[in-house]
Structure 1
Amino acid sequence: MSLTITDLFIGQIASLQRTFNESDVRLCSELTKDYSPIYQVNKEEWRSNYSKPIVPGLLTEGLITQVISEKLPGSACILLQKELVFYHPVHIGDMISAELEVIDINLNRDWVTQKVTCYNQAGIEVIKGQVVILVLTNQDVR
Protein backbone atom coordinates (compact mmCIF):
# COMPACT_ATOMS: atom_id res chain seq x y z
CA MET A 1 0.00 0.00 0.00
CA SER A 2 1.31 3.44 -0.88
CA LEU A 3 -0.72 6.38 0.35
CA THR A 4 -0.26 10.08 -0.31
CA ILE A 5 -0.87 12.60 2.43
CA THR A 6 -4.33 13.35 0.99
CA ASP A 7 -5.25 9.65 1.31
CA LEU A 8 -4.62 9.77 5.06
CA PHE A 9 -7.26 10.63 7.66
CA ILE A 10 -7.47 11.17 11.40
CA GLY A 11 -8.16 7.86 13.13
CA GLN A 12 -6.60 5.73 10.40
CA ILE A 13 -4.83 2.70 11.95
CA ALA A 14 -2.25 0.20 10.73
CA SER A 15 -0.35 -2.52 12.57
CA LEU A 16 2.20 -5.29 12.21
CA GLN A 17 3.44 -8.10 14.44
CA ARG A 18 6.88 -9.58 14.86
CA THR A 19 8.55 -12.10 17.12
CA PHE A 20 12.10 -11.13 18.03
CA ASN A 21 14.73 -13.88 18.30
CA GLU A 22 18.40 -14.26 19.24
CA SER A 23 19.51 -13.82 15.63
CA ASP A 24 17.68 -10.46 15.41
CA VAL A 25 19.45 -9.26 18.55
CA ARG A 26 22.85 -10.44 17.28
CA LEU A 27 22.37 -8.62 13.96
CA CYS A 28 21.24 -5.45 15.74
CA SER A 29 24.29 -5.59 18.02
CA GLU A 30 26.62 -6.04 15.04
CA LEU A 31 25.09 -3.08 13.18
CA THR A 32 24.99 -0.74 16.17
CA LYS A 33 28.13 -2.03 17.94
CA ASP A 34 26.04 -2.24 21.13
CA TYR A 35 27.20 -5.45 22.77
CA SER A 36 25.65 -4.83 26.17
CA PRO A 37 25.52 -8.09 28.13
CA ILE A 38 21.88 -7.34 28.98
CA TYR A 39 21.00 -8.43 25.41
CA GLN A 40 23.26 -11.49 25.23
CA VAL A 41 21.70 -14.90 25.87
CA ASN A 42 25.05 -16.43 26.83
CA LYS A 43 25.80 -13.77 29.48
CA GLU A 44 24.50 -13.72 33.03
CA GLU A 45 24.05 -9.98 33.64
CA TRP A 46 20.40 -9.90 32.52
CA ARG A 47 19.41 -12.50 35.13
CA SER A 48 19.59 -10.03 38.04
CA ASN A 49 16.83 -7.85 36.53
CA TYR A 50 14.89 -9.90 33.96
CA SER A 51 13.46 -13.36 33.42
CA LYS A 52 14.95 -13.51 29.89
CA PRO A 53 17.40 -11.41 27.87
CA ILE A 54 15.85 -8.22 26.54
CA VAL A 55 15.65 -6.93 22.99
CA PRO A 56 17.41 -3.58 22.29
CA GLY A 57 14.99 -0.66 22.11
CA LEU A 58 16.34 0.26 18.70
CA LEU A 59 15.27 -3.13 17.36
CA THR A 60 11.71 -2.78 18.63
CA GLU A 61 11.60 0.74 17.17
CA GLY A 62 12.34 -0.91 13.83
CA LEU A 63 8.92 -2.55 13.93
CA ILE A 64 7.34 0.89 14.33
CA THR A 65 9.20 2.27 11.31
CA GLN A 66 8.25 -0.87 9.39
CA VAL A 67 4.57 -0.02 9.90
CA ILE A 68 5.29 3.48 8.58
CA SER A 69 7.25 2.32 5.53
CA GLU A 70 4.97 -0.60 4.60
CA LYS A 71 1.49 0.50 5.66
CA LEU A 72 0.90 3.99 7.01
CA PRO A 73 1.59 5.73 4.71
CA GLY A 74 3.63 3.02 2.96
CA SER A 75 5.17 5.67 0.73
CA ALA A 76 8.38 7.66 0.84
CA CYS A 77 8.67 9.58 4.10
CA ILE A 78 11.20 10.80 6.62
CA LEU A 79 10.97 10.34 10.39
CA LEU A 80 11.17 13.83 11.91
CA GLN A 81 10.45 13.17 15.57
CA LYS A 82 9.82 10.27 17.90
CA GLU A 83 8.83 10.25 21.53
CA LEU A 84 8.62 6.77 22.99
CA VAL A 85 8.28 5.44 26.51
CA PHE A 86 9.34 1.84 27.15
CA TYR A 87 6.97 0.70 29.91
CA HIS A 88 8.04 -2.93 29.99
CA PRO A 89 10.98 -4.80 28.49
CA VAL A 90 10.65 -6.73 25.26
CA HIS A 91 12.22 -10.16 25.68
CA ILE A 92 13.70 -12.48 23.12
CA GLY A 93 10.81 -14.67 21.95
CA ASP A 94 8.13 -12.01 22.55
CA MET A 95 5.65 -11.35 19.77
CA ILE A 96 5.18 -7.59 19.57
CA SER A 97 2.24 -5.86 17.89
CA ALA A 98 2.94 -2.29 16.81
CA GLU A 99 -0.14 -0.16 16.13
CA LEU A 100 0.03 3.33 14.68
CA GLU A 101 -2.91 5.73 14.49
CA VAL A 102 -2.98 9.01 12.58
CA ILE A 103 -3.79 11.75 15.10
CA ASP A 104 -2.84 14.90 13.15
CA ILE A 105 -2.23 15.90 9.53
CA ASN A 106 -0.50 19.16 8.59
CA LEU A 107 -1.05 19.57 4.84
CA ASN A 108 1.01 22.79 4.70
CA ARG A 109 4.15 21.00 5.88
CA ASP A 110 3.24 17.45 4.70
CA TRP A 111 3.64 16.31 8.32
CA VAL A 112 1.67 13.46 9.85
CA THR A 113 1.61 12.73 13.58
CA GLN A 114 0.89 9.18 14.65
CA LYS A 115 0.16 7.69 18.04
CA VAL A 116 2.28 4.59 18.71
CA THR A 117 1.22 1.67 20.89
CA CYS A 118 3.07 -1.65 21.12
CA TYR A 119 1.83 -4.73 22.98
CA ASN A 120 3.40 -8.09 23.71
CA GLN A 121 1.70 -11.45 23.23
CA ALA A 122 0.09 -11.18 26.69
CA GLY A 123 -1.57 -7.88 25.74
CA ILE A 124 0.74 -5.86 27.99
CA GLU A 125 1.58 -2.39 26.66
CA VAL A 126 5.35 -2.29 26.27
CA ILE A 127 5.87 0.95 24.28
CA LYS A 128 3.74 4.05 23.91
CA GLY A 129 4.38 7.40 22.27
CA GLN A 130 4.14 9.26 19.01
CA VAL A 131 6.04 9.92 15.81
CA VAL A 132 5.98 12.79 13.32
CA ILE A 133 6.81 12.00 9.71
CA LEU A 134 7.31 14.08 6.59
CA VAL A 135 5.37 12.45 3.75
CA LEU A 136 7.30 13.06 0.56
CA THR A 137 5.41 13.98 -2.59
CA ASN A 138 6.57 14.41 -6.16
CA GLN A 139 7.19 18.10 -5.44
CA ASP A 140 9.47 17.25 -2.49
CA VAL A 141 12.51 16.29 -4.53
CA ARG A 142 15.28 18.21 -2.77
Structure 2
Amino acid sequence: MSYTIEDLFIGKIARMQRIFTDEEVKVCEKLTRDNSPVYNVEDDIWKHHYHQPIVPGLLAEGLINQVISEKLPGVACVLLQKELIFYLPVYVGDIITAELEIIDINMERNWVTQKVACFNQNGSEVIKGQVVVVILTNQN
Protein backbone atom coordinates (compact mmCIF):
# COMPACT_ATOMS: atom_id res chain seq x y z
CA MET A 1 0.00 0.00 0.00
CA SER A 2 1.15 3.50 -0.77
CA TYR A 3 0.29 6.52 1.38
CA THR A 4 0.38 10.27 1.02
CA ILE A 5 1.53 12.24 4.03
CA GLU A 6 -2.12 13.23 4.61
CA ASP A 7 -3.04 9.53 4.97
CA LEU A 8 -0.47 8.93 7.72
CA PHE A 9 -1.05 9.31 11.45
CA ILE A 10 0.95 8.98 14.65
CA GLY A 11 0.70 5.41 15.90
CA LYS A 12 0.41 3.81 12.45
CA ILE A 13 2.45 0.57 12.38
CA ALA A 14 3.83 -1.62 9.61
CA ARG A 15 5.70 -4.93 9.91
CA MET A 16 7.62 -7.26 7.65
CA GLN A 17 9.50 -10.50 8.22
CA ARG A 18 12.60 -11.92 6.57
CA ILE A 19 14.96 -14.84 6.90
CA PHE A 20 18.57 -13.93 6.10
CA THR A 21 20.54 -16.46 4.05
CA ASP A 22 24.21 -17.25 3.69
CA GLU A 23 23.96 -16.31 0.00
CA GLU A 24 22.64 -12.84 0.93
CA VAL A 25 25.55 -12.36 3.33
CA LYS A 26 28.01 -13.23 0.54
CA VAL A 27 26.33 -10.81 -1.89
CA CYS A 28 26.36 -8.07 0.76
CA GLU A 29 30.05 -8.64 1.43
CA LYS A 30 30.79 -8.43 -2.28
CA LEU A 31 28.75 -5.26 -2.84
CA THR A 32 29.98 -3.41 0.25
CA ARG A 33 33.51 -4.87 0.29
CA ASP A 34 33.00 -5.50 4.00
CA ASN A 35 34.96 -8.72 4.35
CA SER A 36 34.98 -8.98 8.13
CA PRO A 37 35.75 -12.51 9.31
CA VAL A 38 32.71 -12.38 11.66
CA TYR A 39 30.50 -13.07 8.61
CA ASN A 40 32.50 -16.03 7.30
CA VAL A 41 31.89 -19.59 8.45
CA GLU A 42 35.44 -20.59 7.41
CA ASP A 43 37.02 -18.10 9.83
CA ASP A 44 37.40 -18.83 13.55
CA ILE A 45 37.40 -15.25 14.87
CA TRP A 46 33.61 -15.14 15.36
CA LYS A 47 33.73 -18.17 17.67
CA HIS A 48 35.17 -16.00 20.46
CA HIS A 49 31.99 -13.90 20.65
CA TYR A 50 29.14 -15.64 18.78
CA HIS A 51 27.83 -19.17 18.29
CA GLN A 52 27.88 -18.75 14.49
CA PRO A 53 28.81 -16.07 11.92
CA ILE A 54 26.65 -12.95 12.04
CA VAL A 55 24.68 -11.10 9.36
CA PRO A 56 26.22 -7.72 8.44
CA GLY A 57 24.39 -4.80 10.05
CA LEU A 58 23.88 -3.17 6.68
CA LEU A 59 22.05 -6.26 5.43
CA ALA A 60 19.86 -6.40 8.54
CA GLU A 61 19.05 -2.71 8.02
CA GLY A 62 17.80 -3.62 4.57
CA LEU A 63 14.66 -5.08 6.12
CA ILE A 64 13.95 -1.71 7.76
CA ASN A 65 14.40 0.04 4.40
CA GLN A 66 12.09 -2.54 2.81
CA VAL A 67 9.31 -1.69 5.30
CA ILE A 68 9.78 2.01 4.51
CA SER A 69 9.74 1.58 0.73
CA GLU A 70 7.00 -1.05 0.50
CA LYS A 71 4.66 -0.32 3.43
CA LEU A 72 5.22 2.79 5.52
CA PRO A 73 5.04 5.20 3.85
CA GLY A 74 5.37 3.01 0.76
CA VAL A 75 5.92 5.98 -1.56
CA ALA A 76 8.96 7.70 -2.97
CA CYS A 77 10.92 8.97 0.00
CA VAL A 78 14.49 9.61 1.07
CA LEU A 79 16.06 8.52 4.33
CA LEU A 80 17.27 11.65 6.15
CA GLN A 81 18.39 10.20 9.47
CA LYS A 82 18.74 6.85 11.18
CA GLU A 83 19.80 5.96 14.67
CA LEU A 84 20.04 2.25 15.38
CA ILE A 85 21.32 0.16 18.25
CA PHE A 86 22.17 -3.48 17.59
CA TYR A 87 21.33 -5.21 20.87
CA LEU A 88 21.91 -8.77 19.73
CA PRO A 89 23.49 -10.30 16.64
CA VAL A 90 21.40 -11.42 13.70
CA TYR A 91 22.42 -14.87 12.46
CA VAL A 92 21.92 -16.56 9.11
CA GLY A 93 18.60 -18.39 9.30
CA ASP A 94 17.09 -16.06 11.90
CA ILE A 95 13.52 -14.95 11.27
CA ILE A 96 13.60 -11.20 11.81
CA THR A 97 10.47 -9.06 12.14
CA ALA A 98 10.90 -5.33 11.61
CA GLU A 99 8.21 -3.10 13.08
CA LEU A 100 8.05 0.61 12.30
CA GLU A 101 5.68 2.98 14.07
CA ILE A 102 5.09 6.61 13.16
CA ILE A 103 5.92 8.80 16.15
CA ASP A 104 5.98 12.25 14.49
CA ILE A 105 4.79 13.90 11.27
CA ASN A 106 6.07 17.29 10.10
CA MET A 107 3.59 18.33 7.39
CA GLU A 108 5.52 21.52 6.58
CA ARG A 109 8.69 19.61 5.64
CA ASN A 110 7.04 16.31 4.57
CA TRP A 111 9.09 14.52 7.24
CA VAL A 112 7.94 11.36 8.97
CA THR A 113 9.73 10.01 12.06
CA GLN A 114 9.35 6.33 12.85
CA LYS A 115 10.34 4.20 15.81
CA VAL A 116 12.13 1.01 14.75
CA ALA A 117 12.05 -2.32 16.59
CA CYS A 118 13.35 -5.60 15.16
CA PHE A 119 12.84 -8.96 16.84
CA ASN A 120 14.17 -12.44 16.16
CA GLN A 121 12.11 -15.65 16.14
CA ASN A 122 12.58 -15.97 19.92
CA GLY A 123 10.99 -12.56 20.54
CA SER A 124 14.30 -10.96 21.52
CA GLU A 125 14.81 -7.39 20.37
CA VAL A 126 17.87 -7.32 18.11
CA ILE A 127 17.71 -3.77 16.70
CA LYS A 128 16.08 -0.63 18.08
CA GLY A 129 16.09 3.00 17.00
CA GLN A 130 14.39 5.53 14.80
CA VAL A 131 14.41 6.84 11.25
CA VAL A 132 13.33 10.08 9.61
CA VAL A 133 12.25 10.12 5.98
CA VAL A 134 11.13 12.93 3.68
CA ILE A 135 8.22 12.01 1.47
CA LEU A 136 8.74 13.22 -2.08
CA THR A 137 5.83 14.86 -3.87
CA ASN A 138 5.12 15.77 -7.48
CA GLN A 139 5.05 19.46 -6.56
CA ASN A 140 7.95 21.76 -7.54
Q: Structure 2 length as normaliser, TM-score? A: 0.98
Letter in 2 for 1:5: I
- In the TM superposition, residue 113 of structure 1 has moved relative to its aligned partner by 0.1
2: CA distance, partners of 1:42 / 1:21: 16
2: CA distance, partners of 1:13 / 1:137: 22
- In the TM superposition, residue 107 of structure 1 has moved relative to its aligned partner by 0.2
Please list the CA deviations of residues 38-97 of structure 1 after superposition, one character each: whole Å capped at 9, or x if unmatched. Answer: 001121111111001100000000000000000001100000000000000101111100
1: CA distance, partners of 2:93 / 2:44: 18
2: CA distance, partners of 1:61 / 1:129: 11
Identity of aligned residues (%): 65
Please, which runs of 5 or more residues in structure 2 have no aligned partner?
none
Please, which runs of 5 or more residues in structure 1 have no aligned partner?
none
1: CA distance, partners of 2:39 / 2:64: 20
2: CA distance, partners of 1:62 / 1:43: 25
Give 1:40-55 correspondences, 5 Å limit: 40-55=40-55
Are residue 72 (structure 1) and residue 72 (structure 2) matched? Answer: yes
Letter in 1 for 2:95: M
Give 1:1-142 correspondences, 5 Å limit: 1-139=1-139
1: CA distance, partners of 2:122 / 2:52: 15
